[in-house]
Amino acid sequence: MKHPPADGLIIDQEGRRVSPERPFHGFDRTSGANGPYEFHAFGFDGATMTREQRLARLEALAKLLDVAFIVPGTKVRYGIDGLIGLIPVVGDIITTAIALWIVREARALGAPWHLTARMLGNVAVDGVVGIVPVAGDAFDVAFKANMRNVRMLRRWIDRQRAREQGAR
């Protein structure tokens, strides 16, 4: 599915809009422990990202977690969530933590409470059922909570964009 180009909106890691005139407002020109420029609040590498870029990052992570691989000879797709989940308890804790990070990013992108509540419900179902040996792993492969969550977020962002363009 082809998505429209980014709208130019720049958002920092905490979900705050950044002025296009001053995209590097997170850097102070004063000397600090980290060198001549202090780092404050941006993405992993210090670069700001548009809302579309952040969403693309979440979509890529969800695909890796839920549908990156195909069982040979079938149409069954699975991701590293299903593989990591094979490690008893610890694997499920790790994949649930990653899924919660996706929900946190959705909130930082401005998702409303009702959307994040639905996303948290998907994570909870995936985490609780995933703890059950063997059956939980099969459920992880079938349920694909991360893909569901990112799809809901994408639909919400697309509706927001349509409203904003309709109001202009």
User: Does residue 11 sit within a domain?
Assistant: no
User: Does residue 58 sit within a domain?
Assistant: yes
- Give the domain extent around 135: 50-167
The string of pLDDT tens digits covering residues 150-168 is 999 999 999 998 998 887 6
Task: Tell me how many domains the chain contains.
Answer: 1
The string of pLDDT tens digits covering residues 1-57 is 555 555 556 666 566 666 655 544 444 444 444 444 433 433 444 457 888 899 999
Residues, the chain, total? 168
- Cut 0.75: pTM above it: no
User: Does residue 60 sit within a domain?
Assistant: yes
For residue 126, give the nearest of 105, 153, 97 by alpha carbon: 97
User: Does residue 104 sit within a domain?
Assistant: yes
User: Does residue 8 sit within a domain?
Assistant: no
User: Does residue 66 sit within a domain?
Assistant: yes
User: Does residue 100 sit within a domain?
Assistant: yes
